[in-house]
Amino acid sequence: MHIQSIPMWTGSSNNYAYLVKDNKTNDAVIIDPANPPEVAPVLKEQIDGGKLNLTAIMNTHHHWDHAGGNKKMLSQFKDLPVFGGKDCEAVTKTPKHGETFKIGSGITVKALHTPCHTQDSICWFMEDGDERVVFTGDTLFIGGCGRFFEGTPVEMNTALNKTLAALPNDTKVYPGHEYTKQNVKFLTTVLQTQPDPTIQKATGKTNEVDVMGALREMKNSM
């Protein structure tokens, strides 16, 4: 598979849309194309050049900076299905947890429901031969996780430490935002050399769910 990241709103919310293409057929999907003026020209150039057959829009959750561009995208790229949670703009298909489908002939997609940031959050796990990737939206970032807008620490603990942690170790993670720098900056305030005792001391908690909830609240206040 070929994956192209498309940065959006660089310098403010620092979102990513992702173009995922099956190399055998050129069939492709676009994930979270929230800002069509930045995304559509990238797609159109490749479609006009015969390098791309766009087959679907996919969303990780319903927030406007992930799914809010669906209708405008559909006005330019007609008759596309929209895969995503039930509250996503113009959604036509909400796969069940663990349900699979194909992109082209080579890429298998599995829907992983990860409610917490929103209750309709879905991470998209994809396999093509020995290549494995997951698109995590605002559930998992590099060095952090999303805010618990519609869920609880228990739900995020399940999403991160059960659902996503069960994926193969060589799975590459593609998050919905570029938050790495600020996440690492926060981590240095609570984590030094011995993770568990240091984090427990910083949060005053010992239970893993309570620790997660306390860390998220600490990060929210930064």
Task: Give the up-direction half-sphere exposure of residue 66: CA atoms within 13 A in the CB hemisphere.
Answer: 27
Q: Which residues are catalytic?
A: 61, 63, 65-66, 117, 138, 177
In Å, how far from its chain's centre is CA 205? 29
Residues 43-78: b if buried by 16+ CB within 10 A, e if exposed: beebbeeeebebbbbbbbbbbebbbbbbebbbeebe
Q: How far apart are CA 186 and CA 114, in angstroms?
A: 24
Residue 72 has phi, psi (to 5 degrees) of: -65, -35
Distances from the Cα of 143 to the Cα of 12, 77, 162, angstroms: 19, 35, 17
Place of tokens 């909830």: 213
